[in-house]
Amino acid sequence: MKSLSDLLAGNRAWAAGITRADPEFFRRLIGQQAPRYLWIGCSDSRVPANQIVGLLPGEMFVHRNVANLVVHTDLNCLSAIQFSVDVLRVEHVIVCGHYGCGGVLAALRGDRLGLVDNWLRHINDVKATCGEQLAALDGEAARHARLCELNVVEQVVHVAETTVVRDTWAAGRELAIHGWIYDLADGLVRDLGVTLAAGDEIATVAETARRRLAD
Ligand code: CO
């Protein structure tokens, strides 16, 4: 089997570069991680979480899956949320989708890709909720972009509805959930205006965000 020597060489060069710029960098990180942010994003190779927002190792807790979904029974995602919120005490959860998401497009088209279709069924729920808004758009590209945006809004709501986040708010702790979308074309992130900081505003903030997208 071919070895991945180029990746390992890349790693050595990366570590050497960081150490050159800051000799204490790795020693400091051994002690603890104290990230302020949890990032929930797509596994897409073009959307590397830390790089996009210019954060170093230690500064952001990251969970990624196909199409940045937050599924109520997904222990993997729920554990990442619980650990980062309860133990690491992050102050912000960012759900970041991206335009051109292949998972969202497959769901939009009803393509058959294999096992992953079962996972992408969750985007069909978004399609069902926002069907009118999608149908009003002209062409697949516009519907694809809108579904990427609407999917973020729904996943922000899902984060806010978890027991972890509801208990955090009930205890009076500050925690904000944000919905962003990344544009592969220019590398820029846009805030979708669906920031949630309390349990009683979920429905109104989400509905306002959906309506703003439709305007
Ligand atoms: Co994607």
Gap from CA of 111 to ligand 1 centroid (Å)? 15
User: Given the DSSP bridges, would you call strands 92-98 and 37-42 parallel, antiparallel or unpaired?
Assistant: parallel
* Distance from the alpha carbon of residue 147 to the mean position of ligand 1, in angstroms: 12
Q: Which of 128, 102, 129, 130 is nearest to 116 (CA)?
A: 102
Six-digit token pair at 140? 């697949």
What is d(CA 69, CA 107) in angstroms, rounded to the nearest whole number? Answer: 13
From the CA of 16, how far away is ligand 1's center (Å)? 32
- Return the SS3 of 210: helix
Name residue, tokens 């060069």: 13
3 pLDDT band (50/70/90 cuts)? confident
Residue-level pLDDT at 35? 96
Q: What sign has the CA pseudo-torsion 49, 53, 59, 60? A: negative
State in Å: Cα 65 to ligand 1 middle: 8
Which residues contact residue 157 at a Cβ distance below 8 angstroms, ignoring those fewer than 6 apart? 196, 202, 206
φ, ψ of residue 91 to 5 degrees: the values are -105, -15
Give the least confident one: 32-36, 149-153, 180-184, 192-196.
32-36
Query: For 98, phi and psi rounded to 5 degrees?
Result: -150, 145
Give the model's pLDDT for residue 1: 61
Predicted structure pTM score = 0.96
Q: Which residues of 73-107 are buried (b: 16+ CB within 10 A; e: fewer)?
A: ebeebbebbbebbeeeebebbbbbbbbbbbbbbbb
Give me the domains of the chain, ranges plus CATH numbers: 1-31 (no CATH), 33-214 (3.40.1050.10)
Identity of the amino acid at 106: A
C-alpha 27 – ligand 1 centre gap (Å): 34
Share of the chain above pLDDT 70, in %: 100
The continuous run of DSSP H or E covering 151 comes out as: helix 140-161
Q: What is the pLDDT of residue 2?
A: 75
pLDDT at 87 > cutoff 70: yes
C-beta of residue 180 within 8 angstroms of C-beta of residue 167: no
Convert the pLDDT of each residue in 157-182 to its tens digit. Answer: 999 999 999 999 999 999 999 999 99
CB < 8 Å & 24+ apart, contacts of 20-27? 25/56
**Count of Cβ atoms closer than 10 Å to residue 50 Cβ:** 15
Tokens of 84: 């980062």
Q: What are phi and psi of 102, to 5 degrees?
A: -65, -35
Q: Please compute the mean of the pLDDT values over residues 90-111 and round it to a whole number.
A: 97
Q: How many CB atoms lie within 10 A of CB 171?
A: 8
Averaged pLDDT for residues 42-65: 97
Which residues are known catalytic residues? 42, 44, 46, 98, 101
